Structure 1
Amino acid sequence: MVLLSQEKEVTPLMADIPVMSFEDVVKVYPLPAGDVTALDGVSFRVDRGEFISVMGPSGSGKSTLLNMMGCLDTPTSGDIYISGTRIGDMSDMELTNLRRDRIGFIFQYFNLFPLLNIIENVTFPMLLKSQKSVDPERGKEVLRSVQLDEKLFTHTPTELSGGQQQRVAIARALINNPDILLCDEPTGNLDSKTGAGIMDLMTELNRNGTTIIMVTHDPHIAEYSRRTIRIADGRIVS
């Protein structure tokens, strides 16, 4: 099956602008026992169409980095740009809209709504964006693109396997045509065979133009990406 292409028309000028860039980003958490520096001068850029894995030991700063990439937290100092827009200049509402419209999130534990059926789960971000009824055909189109059997479209998440639920979660992340997919251990809750199927799907999505940044601890999963960013003690080491 041919996957739904996520490619967008890009002018030559836009093509030169990274979809994400960090410039000397520092994040310090003040604690009673002393300040903790979670990120220490992190700089990198992500170009359109890349597939990047982020790796590092526990406590290295991966979670903080993911929160920053998803605009869920702001740096203590330094600058973060999403498609050329400096997030430090944005209001809370603008950041909320940015996350909704331009960043797709895929989680280890799927985070689907148990009382909604699969179509309703996938189209929920569209409902948040439009504030009115949505076309279920768009949801079906994206679900077909992630190769979910149509007979499952009216089921609830608890009636699906882990791999099927992750395909639904990927479809939900794609529904608003985001600039970036952020994936937090996307195969961490799956067996190796099912996880390989999900990674094959993500590889095909990337071939069709989707920019993917994936946090993982598994070197075999990281091999699916085209570039690996390694972080230790809050700093990029390679």
Structure 2
Amino acid sequence: MDLPVGPPVPPKEAVSPSRTPLPGRSVSLVPLTPDHAPALWRHLGGDANRWRWTYMLGAGFPTYPSCEEAIATWSASRDPLFYAVVVSGEALGLMSYMSVVPAHRRIEIGSVILGERLQRSRAATEAFYLLLRRAFEDLGYLRVEWKANALNEPSLAAARRLGFAFEGVFRKHMVVKGRQRDTAYFSITDAEWPAVKGGLEAWLADGNFDEHGKQKRGLRECREAFKQGP
């Protein structure tokens, strides 16, 4: 008896990401090293930034020694593979590849925490573009995931803005810092990537910003225009 099965996939694995810098125009993603600790402490550490860690798995950097210790540990990790988000030579935030499964050709962008100068910035959007482009075009992944605490509205909104499709909520998925976490799942597939890429590149183009750096078209508008064609 013939039963329905999924379409065949070419018999190859994706490539695990390596500690390779990803340079962009307004931002660079640089493999995390202990040397990034002083800048990351300034932008992510202490009581003033404690709120930024509310939905993260870790508690943040309450003291500079705790920041040094965490950055040293994360610098040696391969999964998650951490990058410092660097603008004008200064590390302003963190992003990573994680949950890397080359055999099934899926990978996640996660452990994202951005300092104030990266919030709602062109540089932050470009950083996500660099990670997505490398995952799909250089490393051979078929699926890039985004997972977030279902209460983390800014993360949910960011996923949708970037072009990730909402897939559902894993209820009571984790216990984080002694509290229940429901986890929202999003993804972009290789079939969706061309439209997502086209929208990102149109939004990031110099012509999409006025002399004050204000966008002319939003990212969703750019993506929909790309889908519709010339």
Same fold (TM over 0.5): no
User: If the length of structure 2 is used for normalisation, what is the TM-score?
Assistant: 0.31
User: If the length of structure 1 is used for normalisation, what is the TM-score?
Assistant: 0.31
Looking at secondary structure, tell me which structure has more strand per residue.
2
Of structures 1 and 2, the one with the larger relative CO (CA 8 A, separation 6+) is: 1
